[in-house]
Structure 1
C-alpha cells in the first residue's frame, strides 16, 4: 500500500486540526519510529522521508494546475486484530463487533468531514480528505468473513508491552499490508505508562536497503481496547473517558499516513504541512 501517495493527498487537503482531534497522552509513534530506524538503517532518516514527500506534493500541485489529475475517493480495507486473553466475545479485551463498527464510523466522519457529526471536523479550515475506511469483507483466502474486518486473537496474555507487540504479536498475526490496513487492539501493560496507541510511519520504497521482511511485518496501528470505539454510539463499558470517542485512532491513522504532530515533534518544530504555523517560541516556553 503506497501510503506516501495518500499522505500527499492529505497534505494538500490539510487535515482538520489533526492534533486538536485527539492528543493521546502519551502517543508513542515518534519513539517507536526512532527504534525502527535504528534497527533498520536502510529506512533512512525521517528528514529523508519528509524531503521525498515534499517533492511529491509539489509534483501533484503542478499536475493539478494543469488539470492532469483525476480526483477520486480512495477506500482502504481494515483488519482489526482484537487481542484478548480468552474472554468471551464482547467481554473485557475481546470487544464487540458493535464497538469496532462505532470506531470505523468515527474514523470516516473525521477523515471525510461529514456534516452533522461530532468532533472537530466542523472546523472551517477542514477538508474532506476523500479517504474512506471500511472493514474488510474477505479474508486472505478470499472467503467471506463472518465478522467483517475482525480477526479475534487469543494472545494468552493479560497485557502487552511494546516490545512484545513488535517482536511477537505483529509478525505472528499481520495480514498482507499491501492489501489490508492492520490495526491491533490490545491491553497495554501498565509498564507502558498509560500508553493509548502508536502508529508506524510509511516506508518509502525509493530508499535503498530496506529488508523485505522487516517493516512490512510490523506495519499498522496499535490502540488500547479502552480507547477504541465511540461511547456516543453505544453502551461500551470498557471505554474510558476522556479517550472514549474514537479520536485516538483518528490521531494514529494520521501518523500512519505520514503526518507529524501539529507543531512538529519539538518546541518551535515543523510539521511540514502549511495548514498551521510553527509554534511561537513564547507559546512553547509557556507550556
Structure 2
C-alpha cells in the first residue's frame, strides 16, 4: 500500500481516455471494434498550463487542502446531490442517443459511486472491506440536444462552446455537465479536474460509450458498453488520478490503492502480482474504476479514493458549491 503523498505531480488537468481504432485515425464508425483504453494526459496538461500558468498553482492549492481535510476529518457527511445536465451533440440518428440510454448512465453512476453495482461482489477478499460508498446522488436535471454537421470532436473543448458549434455548460458551479458526442482520434472521453475554468468544467464521453447496453437499447462500442467510461471520467472530475499515477509504478495520491506498474487493459486474471517493488510484494487492483480495463472488469472505488473526492465538497473545497442547499 502507498503512503499518502500530496503535492502537484505532472498529471493531466484534463484527462482524455482514448481507444485506438484500426485504420480509423480521425472519425469513428457507429460501432467501432477492436479498441483499448489509452490516455493523452501529458499533451492536454501542457496545453492547459501553457494557456494558464496559474493552473499548476491551483492544483498545488487543491492538493494541500485535500491533505488537510482528510487529516483533520473535515469531510462532508450525508448524501450530496449532484444535478446532471447531459448535452447531446449529434450528426446522425445513432449519435442522438435516447432518453433511455441517458437514464441508464445516470443509474450506472449512482450504482458505481454508492457501491450498489451488482458486479462489486466480484471484488477479491483482500480488498472487499475497502469498497466505498461515496454518498453521492446523481440526478438528471435536463437534457440539451443540438444537431451538428461536425463529424467528430477533439480535446479542445469546442463541444462546450456554442460559438464553436457546441453547447455551453448549464450552471457549471452547481451542475455536473456531461457532453455525449462523436469523438475523433479514437477518444473514449475526457474530464476536467477541479480548479479549471467553469466555462469548460465537466465530462465528455463518446456517444457509443454513454450508458449501459445492459439497461437500455442503443448503439454501443464493444467492451465499453456498461457506462464505466463515464464512471472513470467523473472520477477524474472528483479529483481521482489513474491507478498507476500516470508513471511507471507512479503514485495516485491515495493511500489504500496498491502500486501498479502501468495501466491494465482487457480483463486481467486475478491475482496479478505487481512488478513494482515499493510496498513489497502485492497484487494490482485491476478492477478499480481508475484503471483501463474493459467495462465489465472494473467495479470498485476504495475508501481512500472516496475521502480524496469528498474533500472537494468541504467548506473551502474546490467543489463546495455543489454541497450547498
Both structures adopt the same fold (TM-score exceeding 0.5):
yes
CA positional deviation for 1:24: 6.9
User: Secondary structure of the residue that 1:173 maps to in structure 2?
Assistant: coil
User: Aligned pair 1:159/2:164, yes or no?
Assistant: no
Query: Which of 133, 141, 145 is the matching residue for 1:128?
Result: 133
Structure-1 residue corresponding to 2:119: 119
User: Aligned pair 1:183/2:178, yes or no?
Assistant: yes
More divergent stretch after superposition (44-53 vs 266-275) = 44-53
User: Secondary structure of the residue that 1:135 maps to in structure 2?
Assistant: strand
For the 8 Å contact 2:89–2:166, the answer to whether it is kept is no
User: Secondary structure of the residue that 1:44 maps to in structure 2?
Assistant: helix
* Structure 1 residues 41 and 83: CA distance shift in structure 2, 3 A: same
CA positional deviation for 1:271: 0.7
Alignment of 1:108-257 (within 5 A): 108-114=110-116, 117-120=117-120, 123=123, 124=128, 125-136=130-141, 149-163=142-156, 164-165=158-159, 172-189=167-184, 192=185, 194-203=186-195, 215-236=197-218, 238-257=219-238
CA distances 1:122-158 after superposition (whole Å, capped 9, x unpaired) = 631202110110101xxxxxxxxxxxx2100223312
User: Secondary structure of the residue that 1:37 maps to in structure 2?
Assistant: helix
* Structure 1 residues 242 and 58: CA distance shift in structure 2, 3 A: same
CA positional deviation for 1:278: 2.6
User: TM-score by structure 1 length?
Assistant: 0.70
Instruction: Give distance in 1, aligned partners of 2:175 and 2:165.
Output: 14
CA RMSD, Structure 1 to Structure 2 (Å): 2.7
User: Secondary structure of the residue that 1:26 maps to in structure 2?
Assistant: strand
Structure 1 portions without partners, runs of 5+: 1-22, 64-68, 137-148, 204-213
For the 8 Å contact 2:189–2:204, the answer to whether it is kept is yes
Query: Which of 31, 53, 60 is the matching residue for 2:66?
Result: 53
* Structure 1 residues 223 and 82: CA distance shift in structure 2, 3 A: same
Structure 2 portions without partners, runs of 5+: 1-34, 263-273, 278-325
Aligned positions, number: 224
* Structure 1 residues 219 and 70: CA distance shift in structure 2, 3 A: closer
Q: Work out which structure has the larger RCO, using CA pairs closer than 8 Å and 6 or more positions apart in sequence.
A: 1
Query: Which of 32, 49, 56 is the matching residue for 2:44?
Result: 32
User: TM-score by structure 2 length?
Assistant: 0.62
CA positional deviation for 1:172: 4.8
* Structure 1 residues 174 and 105: CA distance shift in structure 2, 3 A: same
More helix by share: 1
CA positional deviation for 1:175: 1.1
* Structure 1 residues 30 and 254: CA distance shift in structure 2, 3 A: farther
For the 8 Å contact 1:201–1:255, the answer to whether it is kept is yes
For the 8 Å contact 1:24–1:248, the answer to whether it is kept is no
CA positional deviation for 1:200: 0.2
CA positional deviation for 1:119: 3.4
